[in-house]
A and B are shown apart, each in its own frame.
Chain A
Amino acid sequence: MSGVRVLVGTRKGAFILTSDGKRERWEVTGPHFGGWEIYHMKGSPVDPNRIYASQCSGWFGQVIQRSNDGGKSWAPVGNKFTYDGIPGTHQWYDGTPHPWEFKRVWHLEPSLSEPDTVYAGVEDAALFRSTDGGVNWEELSGLRGHGSGPRWQPGAGGMCLHTVLLDPANPERMFIAISAAGAFRTDDGAKTWRPINRGLRSEHIPDPTAEVGHCVHRIAMHRSRPGVLFMQKHWDVMRSDDAGDTWREVSGNLPTDFGFPIDVHAHEPETIYVVPIKSDSEHYPPDGKLRVYRSRTGGNEWEPLTKGLPQQDCYVNVLRDAMAVDSMDSCGIYFGTTGGQVYASSDAGDSWEPVVRDLPAVLSVEVQTLP
């Protein structure tokens, strides 16, 4: 493998960081789409030069950009996200019914097999798909039509569908997560869905073990074991060994089990990473120390990773889509902060270096391992 390309979405544009396999020296390009919010960028696993970007603005709405040359050039494609049928209502913050309204695309997930097929998780929560490279979008309305939609409620960041996981072993199976509804799974290519939240406990909702209503922040899987899922919830780090049918808590000795991102080592399916955040009221690391926590046992036993990370006076946050791993022999871990730093580790988290320090607030980080 020749190197890595890190795709960074920020509050004020996109940046692309590239390096060779050593990951010591970096070339930084950007800002692309300067001044726009870039919620997410992600490349196709089958064609790394095909990259999709979600560009949005409070003034001008949603734009989807597509690159066919690895991010050197971009062209806007389709931005018409229309809900299927009459959208109906979900719960507003105060529990009253509120009409479904499209606001933005939070996450783009390219297909594992077709470069022109890409999924979009949007706010207000719904799943869309394009099969023509992002030109036309169609809602996969079986999800919103599951029947529990009127009980979904926005989290503090909005009612967003932020996680889309495609099962590499079963093209009919897909997992998604919504704040604040929970996790859902389809086993028939997105025609029908069911909530997979058994075992989650959320003390801040009326029924702490409800079928839906949980503020799931992020789900991750390892490609080799798509039935094993890891979840960072509003509070609690969770694990499922049966494709989400049941969950158990694996927060273990974490200093706090609140946080946003969670990811899995590229070559060790039991090695997982989180970034503990003090609380839902104080979105910064405990004690002003930025620490990634690693578990080599699939949860419960965690070790802090601090070498190269600020260990005093650090009050940034790491958002849910702002952590990624490469698949170089020595697995690289990357995350971006709301303070504009992107940190990289080329030794699975043992040590860290800032690639850039002064970007706008980082919304998302993805990495491509280049052939």
Chain B
Amino acid sequence: MIRVVLPHHLRTLAQVDREVKLSVPAPITQRSILDALESTYPMLRGTIRDHVTHQRRAFLRFFACEEDISHEPVDAPLPEAVGSGVEAFHIIGAIVGG
């Protein structure tokens, strides 16, 4: 299972705990994880990436294995540790605003 860690406001919106576990078909990429996340929790559609273009929202970042992978190609394979569930895929909101 793929582990995904959500920021606070998306947890409350989806009514889930800090981390969710998803069954994601290979290959494990940003796109396949987000597709599975939105399929399981449709209320998250549009809150992480644009409905149509699938562009990541500007104030969000994706981390895996302590690396910022936000600017990696969305179809690039993620590290094996994410695919095996050892490491989580983190969705993080920028620390800005008031």
Chain A residues near B (Cβ < 8 Å): 33-36, 57-63, 76, 79-80, 82
Contact = CB atoms under 8 A, between A and B. Distances in A.
A164 B57 CA distance: 29
B47 A63 contact: yes
A59 B46 contact: no
A60 B97 contact: no
A33 B8 CA distance: 12
A60 B43 contact: no
Nearest to B93: A59
Contacts of A76: 13, 43
Given A60-B10, A61-B47, A76-B13, A82 B97 contact: no
12 contacts: A57-B9, A58-B96, A59-B9, A60-B13, A60-B47, A60-B48, A60-B57, A61-B47, A63-B47, A79-B47, A80-B51, A82-B52
A219 to B, nearest CB: 30
Contact of B97 (A33, A58, A63): A58
Interface in B8-34: 8-10, 12-13
A198 B10 CA distance: 46
B60 interface: yes
A36 B9 CA distance: 8
Contacts of B9: 35-36, 57, 59-60
B46 A79 contact: yes
Contacts of B8: 35
A62 B46 contact: yes
A80 B45 contact: yes
A61 B53 CA distance: 14
Contact of B94 (A59, A61, A63): A59
A82 B45 CA distance: 13
Given A59-B9, A59-B94, A82 B59 contact: no
Contacts of B59: 58-59
Chain B interface secondary structure, helix, strand, loop or mixed? loop
A58 B57 CA distance: 9
B70 to A, nearest CB: 14
A35 B10 CA distance: 11
Contacts of A35: 8-9
Given A34-B12, A35-B9, A59-B59, 13 more contacts: A58-B96, A58-B97, A59-B9, A59-B57, A59-B93, A59-B94, A59-B97, A60-B13, A60-B57, A60-B93, A62-B46, A76-B43, A80-B51
A35 B12 CA distance: 11
A80 B46 contact: yes
A317 B15 CA distance: 35
Contacts of B51: 79-80, 82
A36 B97 CA distance: 12
A81 B57 CA distance: 15
A130 to B, nearest CB: 15
B69 to A, nearest CB: 18
Contacts of A36: 9
A61 B57 contact: yes
A363 to B, nearest CB: 15
A79 B52 contact: no
A110 to B, nearest CB: 21
B93 A61 contact: no
Nearest to A75: B43
A63 B42 CA distance: 12
A141 to B, nearest CB: 16
Contacts of A62: 46
A36 B93 CA distance: 13
A59 B60 contact: yes
Contact of B13 (A58, A63, A80, A82): A63
A59 B94 CA distance: 8
Residue of A33, A59, A76, A80 most packed against chain B (CB within 10 A): A59
Nearest to B94: A59
Contacts of B46: 61-63, 79-80
A58 B13 CA distance: 15
Nearest to B42: A76
A359 to B, nearest CB: 16
Contacts of A80: 45-46, 51
A80 B38 CA distance: 13
Contacts of B45: 79-80
Contacts of B12: 33-34
